[in-house]
Amino acid sequence: MRESEAREALCRMGELLVRRGLVHGSTGNLSVRLDDGWLVTPTNSSLGELDPARLSRLDSAGRLLDGDQPSKEAFLHRCVYDVRGDATAIIHTHSTHCAAVSCLDHKPGAPVLPPLTAYYVMRVGDLALVPYYRPGDERLALAVKEVAVKHAAILLANHGPVIAGKSLKDAQYALEELEETAKLHFLLHGHPTRPLTAEQVAELNVHFRN
């Protein structure tokens, strides 16, 4: 994607996420990979009011080349790009239902969310949970990098999701599927529930995921 197109696409995606209630205030940040670095949304910006000319352009090492100061969470994006060659776009939000799931008392080894629907398995797949670290703690970056090798969808505990995609649309669809599945999870609380079986998940992975 040409840089001018990437700038426009990023701003349009920011508006869409605000319109759909997936981000609030100045939370959330988006990025798109370029040939020689990446574009990320600036710090303290509302995703609904982005200016294509003021997006932060960083080199592949994460240094600011031009535009406004990048989001303080830009390092999350860099950690993922560093280890996922297939990622060309990343969306990080504090979307309400995803954030609620991130605050649950998760048992080690158990799925972060049960595979409730086929679309969840196809779009999100195996969601990884990264333990809580205070903002700025460098262990957060290390933990994200470690799980991003195998997972395009990551949930930061007591925080929110980081979703890598082969395109911005791909990341958006995965984020929306995750948010809707998180809603279902709470709607079903207290009801006898039958998630997909391991065989059904394996069958979907054979047919729909590489």
Distance CA 110, CA 209 (A): 21
- Known catalytic membership, residue 119: yes
Is residue 165 within 8 Å of 91, Cβ to Cβ?
Answer: yes
Alpha helices in 65-159 (DSSP H): 74-83, 96-102, 118-123, 138-148
The residues near 36 (Cβ < 8 Å, ≥ 6 apart) are 59, 60
Reduced to 3 states (helix: H, G, I; strand: E, B; else coil), residue 54 is helix
Half-sphere exposure at residue 34, Cβ-oriented, CA atoms within 13 angstroms: 22
Strand 153-156, strand 128-130: pairing: parallel
Length of the chain, please? 210
Distance CA 147, CA 5 (A): 30
Which of these is catalytic: 119, 132, 180, 203?
119
Active site residues: 73, 119
